[in-house]
Structure 1
Amino acid sequence: MEIDDFWVRIEECRRQGRGRGERLAWLRGELAREPLRELVKFQVCLDQVTQDAFTWDLWAAAEQIFGGWCSDDSFCYFGLWMVGLGRDAFERAVADPDALADAPEVQRLAGRPRDEWDDDDWPEWELLDYVARETYEQVVGGVDDCGDGFDEAVTAAERGGGAIARGPAGERWDARGEEAARRLPALSALFPLPARS
């Protein structure tokens, strides 16, 4: 599976229903028909594109949307959610995090209290990170040693394609400060943060 094939799967997954559960079920079904090496390649592609989104600018965008704070785990799940937006929205956001304001999924959240966001609206999608591994385990018939084999295969494939950086790219900055209005004007307008005291 090459990166273009990966994005075709993601785009097709988007068309399978609004709910993430339906989308994941469809994706599991599709991946289950593939050779095991393709499941590994799917995970490698997913890891690579989420690494592309692992920037301080996108972390600040997530903080803006989340109301001023975003944990390490939440940011990882935010990157997976961005993948679920599709290739065009994802790549636009990587190039310009403020472009997230154009995504219908983001616009639906604006002006609504965060405690009223339902699970399918919340801008995190942790379970996408497990779909290839779980499908691999299902295909080979259990979880005892299968997961280790999958993880080793992914690690070997990623090492073969070059090391994946581990820290966010760019310079860290605080979305709760005045700089957000300059760097993220559209997101700042959609998700204004309370003034710091």
Structure 2
Amino acid sequence: MLDVDDFWALVEGSATVTVQPDERLAWLTDRLAERPLAEVLDFAARLDEARGRADTWRLWAAALRICGGLCSDDGFHYFQAWLVGLGRETFDRVVADPDALADVPQVRRLAGRPVRDWADDEWPDWECLDYVADEAYERITRVHEGLDEALEARGLERSLIPDPQDEEWDLTDPVEFARRCPRLAELFPVPRR
């Protein structure tokens, strides 16, 4: 069984090898493919559980503000994976208080810069983390796209899009955002028209 601690150890272990997202993904896939198949399914389940914890309107508003208004359903889904990639301590702190993103070095580096000037690897998204368990599953079983069916046999279904269950509010309201995330509002002010 791959429990929550094992999940975070793998994610954080990838960051000790390299900071390059693609290299981290390759390392994670290789390590996961060396484990029993049940642990590959567990990894997918742990990632989905982490995403569920980060699936809030307040965190989506923070992502939207950081990304200059460019944070669709898919974008927020990838933002959640990026947040997982920052490691357990940062993830827990930000899930508890999205305004804590103002302390994250990767976020601070983006402040004051137009999104058009960001390099691809600076964007706060890590879409390909979703594919690590799929690729490890395929390596072990030689079955293409079989992970979801295996998870369903366990009674699990991965989330494919965000579905926050907390109170919805107008994420684009600058006054409300400043009330909920004052430090991020200061770092990423709304452009004057």
Same-fold call, TM cutoff 0.5 = yes
Which structure 1 residue ranges, 5 or more long, are not aligned?
A: none
**Equivalent residue, structure 2, for 1:184:** 181
**Equivalent residue, structure 2, for 1:171:** 167
Q: Where do 4+ consecutive residues of structure 1 move more than 4 Å?
A: none
CA distance, structure 1, for counterparts of residue 72 and residue 180 of structure 2: 21
- TM-superposed CA distance for 1:187, in Å, is 0.9
Give the length in aligned residue pairs.
188
SS of 1:15's equivalent in the other structure is helix
1:106-145 mapped onto 2 (5 Å cutoff): 106-143=107-144
Q: Return the TM-score normalized by structure 2.
A: 0.91
**Equivalent residue, structure 1, for 2:30:** 29
Q: Return the TM-score normalized by structure 1.
A: 0.89
Aligned equivalent of 1:153, options 142, 150, 153: 150
SS of 2:125's equivalent in the other structure is coil
Identity %: 51
Which structure 2 residue ranges, 5 or more long, are not aligned?
A: none
Deviations 1:66-90 (A, max 9, x none): 1134211101111001000100111
For 2:170, the aligned partner's letter is D
For 2:179, the aligned partner's letter is R
Deviations 1:134-178 (A, max 9, x none): 1111222252xxx23x21222343549xx9xx7302112233321
Q: CA RMSD in A?
A: 1.9
**Equivalent residue, structure 1, for 2:66:** 65
Say whether the 8 Å CA contact 2:78–2:127 is kept in structure 1.
yes
Label 1:113 to 1:27 Cα distance change in 2 as closer, same or farther (>3 A). Answer: same
**Equivalent residue, structure 2, for 1:85:** 86
